[in-house]
Copies of this chain bind each other. A is one copy, B any other.
């Protein structure tokens, strides 16, 4: 297929490379040029504008947040037209960014109005998984469209979960996944502050957890970061964690679903940011539990 790919960050670069490897024609666009050159070296064509990346059958977006996606989707003075203005009728926009449910709905409407197709396909996995084509893809949209782009998901991931014919449902699943991670960080932070103050070693406590009921990557990964107190460099910065919790709360607001643990996470992230932790890894949330327990950092 002829594919455009917009957004060559840590995740997007790997995804675009795997689409190339699978034999697709890929035209890439990125705000900063060096990332484009790396993909060109692998066989991609370079687009100088968003519009130039929208001439094929499909265009992927993999960007940082709602603002960035809105910018490329709806255009702006410094862009020669956005995706909605540029894509051919019948072509597909696949949004893999972690964006809000509300924006996914807005994009679905805008593309439908323009005779285009829209799929939400956020992914689970870290940059290494993106590079290794080992992502988990959570996809939602019209069945026929999903069928058409299924080979592309196979090219970037190890498994695709189709959750709904409403695109925004996939974003909801992605956001609630990040909420689940945040809740693990918070409860680990509280439990570790408790046992530590009771004289138990944090690493040993983690070992007991992961040896018994809690033997999952989410506990070993974040538990080790917390036990080590090693929050730099950030795998995922606290301010991004707060952003996603905000989006989860917004989704809950829209659906009238109270989310007390998410509310707690929001307040804890704000406390972390207010103490200067914006750029620390989001597992640094645990330092707030330590501080509240009077444990010296």
Q: Is A228 an interface residue (CB 8 A)?
A: no
Q: Is A147 an interface residue (CB 8 A)?
A: no
A187 touches B180 (CB 8 A): yes
The docked-state distance in angstroms from the alpha carbon of A266 to that of B168 is: 23
Q: Is A193 an interface residue (CB 8 A)?
A: yes
**8 Å CB interface, A154-200 against B:** 159, 161, 163-164, 166, 168-169, 172-173, 176-177, 179-181, 183-184, 186-188, 190-191, 193-195, 197-200
Q: Is A293 an interface residue (CB 8 A)?
A: yes
Closest to A201 in B: B163
B187 touches A183 (CB 8 A): yes
Q: Given A173-B195, A270-B256, A292-B271, A218 and B208 touching (CB < 8 A)?
A: no
The docked-state distance in angstroms from the alpha carbon of A277 to that of B38 is: 56
Interfacial chain B residues near A253, Cβ < 8 Å = 246, 266, 270
A179 touches B198 (CB 8 A): no
Copies of this chain present in the complex amount to: 4
B294 touches A274 (CB 8 A): yes
Q: Which of A5-13, A25-33, A82-90, A209-217 makes up part of the contact surface?
A: A209-217
Interfacial chain B residues near A130, Cβ < 8 Å = none
The docked-state distance in angstroms from the alpha carbon of A249 to that of B194 is: 10
Interfacial chain B residues near A163, Cβ < 8 Å = 200-201, 204-205, 208
Q: Given A198-B101, A204-B161, A261 and B186 touching (CB < 8 A)?
A: yes
**8 Å CB interface, A117-175 against B:** 124-125, 136, 138, 159, 161, 163-164, 166, 168-169, 172-173
The docked-state distance in angstroms from the alpha carbon of A136 to that of B292 is: 31
Q: Is A260 an interface residue (CB 8 A)?
A: yes
A208 touches B258 (CB 8 A): no
Most B CB within 10 A of own CB, among A159, A258, A263, A274: A258
Closest to A270 in B: B258
B214 touches A218 (CB 8 A): yes
Instruction: Provide a sorted-by-A list of 15 A–B residue pairs whose CB atoms are within 8 angstroms.
Output: A161-B207, A172-B195, A172-B198, A176-B191, A177-B208, A179-B190, A179-B191, A190-B260, A213-B221, A256-B274, A257-B289, A258-B293, A260-B263, A264-B264, A270-B293
